[in-house]
């Protein structure tokens, strides 16, 4: 049976509201105000992530690799970016990019080549050492054959909200994301712990 393994229905019986209530009961005064947002945010991210992984496993790819390929594909011709640019667009560390690229290269989905001979590109940005990652034919095809499937699936999962609700939600998330990013760039943990 499958339901032994999958926590698909997990936490269904433990609504987010109960968590805040439990803290209040156990530790009156606990600042629970964030729970109503942060917890469902995590749960939804997990559900969407797990679902995407399962959809992609049929195509023989993992979500991390497809993410890499998608960034390259979206960049448009010639479907090539430096490692540095990949890091900037991907929310993961440079080390993780290295590993992603190494895996994808091993599978023939991308190629890696020493970046252009520098010599200050047209602009003025002195690209030091750089590695250019480029989509191969196989990589390109893999994106083409899976992206619509993934995005269609995810759109389906959102149909529980009306179009208007979806717009509202998207707006709120956009605003919050921007603000949180700004905050984290400013005081990066500066005042959280002890005065030093």
Residues that bind DNA (CB under 7 A): 1, 4-7, 50, 53-54, 62-65, 82-84, 87, 91-103, 112, 114-115, 117-120, 126-131
Q: Does 49 bind its own copies (CB under 8 A)?
A: yes
User: Closest CB to its own copies among 102 and 157?
Assistant: 157
Q: Does 88 bind its own copies (CB under 8 A)?
A: yes
Residue with tokens 């987010």: 16
User: Closest CB to DNA among 16 and 131?
Assistant: 131
Q: Select from its own copies, DNA, none the partner in contact with residue 145, using the beta carbon and a kind-dependent cut-off of 5 to 8 Å.
A: none
User: Closest CB to DNA among 43 and 74?
Assistant: 43
Q: Does 129 bind its own copies (CB under 8 A)?
A: no
């Amino acid at each position: 049976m499958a339901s032994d393994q999958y926590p698909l229905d997990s936490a269904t019986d433990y609504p987010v509201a109960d968590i805040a209530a439990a803290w209040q009961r156990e530790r009156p005064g606990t600042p629970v105000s964030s729970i109503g947002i942060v917890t469902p945010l995590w749960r939804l991210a997990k559900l969407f992530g797990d679902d995407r992984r399962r959809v992609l496993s049929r195509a023989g790819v993992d979500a991390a690799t497809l993410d890499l390929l998608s960034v390259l594909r979206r960049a448009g011709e010639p479907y090539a970016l430096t490692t540095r640019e990949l890091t900037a667009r991907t929310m993961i560390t440079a080390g993780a990019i290295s590993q992603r690229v190494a895996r994808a290269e091993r599978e023939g989905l991308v190629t890696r080549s020493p970046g252009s001979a520098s010599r200050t590109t047209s602009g003025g940005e002195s690209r030091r050492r750089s590695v250019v990652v480029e989509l191969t034919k196989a990589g390109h095809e893999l994106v083409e054959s899976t992206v619509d499937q993934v995005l269609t699936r995810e759109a389906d999962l959102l149909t529980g909200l009306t179009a208007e609700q979806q717009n509202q939600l998207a707006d709120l998330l956009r605003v919050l994301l921007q603000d949180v990013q700004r905050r984290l760039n400013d005081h990066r943990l500066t005042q959280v712990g002890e005065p030093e």
